[in-house]
Amino acid sequence: MFLRASRPSLLRTAFPAVRLSSTVAKPVSLKDRLAELIPKEIENVKAVRAEHGKKAFGPVLVDQLYGQVLTSVLSRLPALIWDGSVLDPGSSFTRLFFLSAHPRSPEEGIRFRGKTIPEIQAELPKAPGGSEPLPEGLFWLLVTGEIPTQEQVAELSRDWAARAAIPEFVEEILDRCPPTLHPMSQFSLAVTALNHNSAFAKAYQDGISKKDYWGPTFEDAMDLIAKLPNIAGRIYRNVFAKGKLPSIDASKDYSHNLAALLGFGDDPAFVELLRLYITIHSDHEGGNVSAHTGKLVGSALSDPFLAYGAALNGLAGPLHGLANQEVLIWLRKMQSKLGDDPSDEAVKEYIWSTLKAGQVVPGYGHAVLRKTDPRYTAQREFALKHLPDDKMFKLVGQIYNLVPDILLEAGKAKNPWPNVDAHSGVLLTHYGLDQMSFYTVLFGVSRAFGVAAQLIWDRALGAPLERPKSYSTAAIQKMFAGKP
Ligand SMILES: CC(=O)SCCNC(=O)CCNC(=O)[C@H](O)C(C)(C)COP(=O)(O)OP(=O)(O)OC[C@H]1O[C@@H](n2cnc3c(N)ncnc32)[C@H](O)[C@@H]1OP(=O)(O)O
Ligand SMILES: O=C([O-])CC(=O)C(=O)O
């Protein structure tokens, strides 16, 4: 709301804090003042980028600090150590520093400790009668760099089952959440509250030496992973009124227990899907929002529960993990508008209408990948094997044939190909888990594996506090003023 200074004396009496000039209106509300300042600052930033954008600032260009030109600096600058997984070793560095001298790398996608998804599918231990890898084996691989034996994996299943119970007060927190509170907010609340029993926080208070940090961090990391199925199951049953939570079965693997807690334990195909799902969503090197947040918060020696609670809040954003929910909402809207069997022309028009409305096509594009996400391909192969005739699966395939050309024609997205989130919801929906606001919780259960593995190593190797330098636009202007 703006006050006109037409009657200065009256205004001064009623609003003494308002500074008046005889001619200019001054907003009294902070938001109104901000609304005035924003367009001016947008112009100012444009001018700074036009004048100084191509000037080198350390290893980067000024423009890259603001992002979007050439490529956002943060997704290219080697800045983090992350041991569990890497997207195309070497190529990002090459592209940042030797852009013109080297051909563009194809960015083939994730490797867990050097192994591609098909390789881990072949090499990691399976459940009796199962054909998908057990996430227990993936965690062993992330932590040690080694493929575990069947016995080692069985021991992890038993250990996690033994640690699975959550404190009563955490159950109460969840039971008191309104069902309208998003499942990811409930998830983050519960994980943060687990810090109550953190072995690391206690050991730190008791004066543990730096060289011993990794021990209690390991215990917390194991507790964190072990307790997630009970938290996820409780949220699912509370929010969607799905009845009483069963107990953990110590003779079953992690994914089987998670499926049972959600009410799908009797469906072997769903259990297999969860094994694949948790394995492939676990880790995507260190710079993605959730993993990086976990590492950043952990660098302050916040315990693994606090660090992972923070990571979950990042995963809950629609440009990151929540995109799997957004994909399903988008597909459902498309189906309700165009019917079950739409023509390519109708689908194209729907995709264009999304872009023209200033929205992103969910499930497409990526900050680092430059081709179809191999996690998308793994899920597509699962669908071809288990649900080839599913209508929504067919729609996902149809969209795959149309979106990349449209994104290329629109001319903004650097990667027109699908990411992991373009496919996951369709698989879950097929088995009856069609409450899309819950999907990112499952992603969160899985991502804990990667973040926890790295937190253990960060404490073992004495990783430093993370504190990047930042600059204001005014500082940039001052620094480069008058310089060619
Ligand atoms: C597990 C995961 O986190 S995977 C990613 C999940 N997220 C999604 O699927 C959401 C849709 N995708 C996107 O929004 C983006 O591709 C991201 C967030 C994944 C990557 O973002 P960026 O690294 O900034 O991508 P990029 O450099 O290609 O962006 C350049 C422009 O293209 C646009 N763009 C990128 N992807 C898309 C898309 N799928 N639909 C429409 N526009 C897009 C960006 O919004 C940006 O526009 P702007 O210049 O107006 O700001
Ligand atoms: O790597 C990224 O930025 C996003 C992503 O795909 C993930 O975290 O799984």
- Relative to the alpha carbon of 321, which ligand is closest? 1
Confidence band, pLDDT 50/70/90 cuts, at residue 355: very high
ipTM: 0.99
What is the pLDDT, as a whole number, of residue 107?
A: 66
Kindly tell me the sign of the dihedral angle through the C-alpha atoms of 416, 289, 273, 337: negative
What is the pLDDT, as a whole number, of residue 25?
A: 78
Nearest ligand 1 atom, CA 327:
9
**Residue with tokens 């009124």, as numbered in its chain:** 241
Q: How far apart are CA 206 and CA 114, in angstroms?
A: 39
Nearest ligand 1 atom, CA 365:
16
Within 6 A (CB) of ligand 2 lie 284, 288, 367-368, 419-420
Which of the residues 366, 423, 430, 458 is marked catalytic? 366
Confidence band, pLDDT 50/70/90 cuts, at residue 23: low
User: 360 CA to middle of ligand 1, Å?
Assistant: 7
Q: What is the mean pLDDT of residues 132-141?
A: 98
Q: What is the mean pLDDT of residues 34-55?
A: 92
What is the pLDDT, as a whole number, of residue 72?
A: 57
What is the pLDDT, as a whole number, of residue 89?
A: 52
3-state secondary structure of 8: helix
Tell me: pLDDT of 79 over 90: no
Tens digit of each residue's pLDDT (9 = 90 or more) over 236-266: 999 998 989 999 999 999 999 999 999 999 9
Mutate to test the pocket of ligand 1, among 414, 417, 442 (most ligand atoms within 8 A of CB): 414
Share of the chain above pLDDT 70, in %: 89
Tens digit of each residue's pLDDT (9 = 90 or more) over 275-325: 999 999 999 999 999 999 999 999 999 999 999 999 999 999 999 999 999
pTM assigned to the model: 0.91
What is the pLDDT, as a whole number, of residue 96?
A: 47
Share of the chain above pLDDT 90, in %: 79
Angle between helical axes of 183-193 and 168-176 (0-180°, round to 10): 160
Q: Poorest-confidence range of 73-87, 122-136, 266-280?
A: 73-87
Residue with CA at minimum distance from ligand 1 atom 17: 366
Catalytic residue status for 389: no
Pairing mode, strands 60-61 and 56-57: antiparallel
Q: What is the mean pLDDT of residues 352-379?
A: 96
Task: Give 245's DSSP letter.
Answer: P
Q: Poorest-confidence range of 8-17, 60-69, 174-183?
A: 8-17
Q: What is the mean pLDDT of residues 350-361?
A: 98
Catalytic residue status for 102: no
Q: What is the mean pLDDT of residues 206-223?
A: 97
Tens digit of each residue's pLDDT (9 = 90 or more) over 94-129: 444 434 333 334 467 999 999 999 999 999 999 999
Q: How far is CA 469 from the centre of its chain?
A: 24
Task: Give 112's DSSP letter.
Answer: E
Task: Give 74's DSSP letter.
Answer: G
- The mean pLDDT value of the chain amounts to 90
Give how far Cα 484 sits from Cα of 63, 269, 348, Å.
15, 64, 47
With contact defined as beta carbons under 8 Å apart, do 315 and 411 qualify? no
The structural domains of the chain, ordered by start, are 135-320+440-461 (1.10.580.10), 323-431 (1.10.230.10)
* Contacts of residue 155, Cβ cutoff 8 Å, sequence gap at least 6: none
With contact defined as beta carbons under 8 Å apart, do 39 and 63 qualify? no
Q: How far apart are CA 136 and CA 256, in angstroms?
A: 12
Q: How far apart are CA 428 and CA 231, in angstroms?
A: 19
Confidence band, pLDDT 50/70/90 cuts, at residue 387: very high
Confidence band, pLDDT 50/70/90 cuts, at residue 13: very low
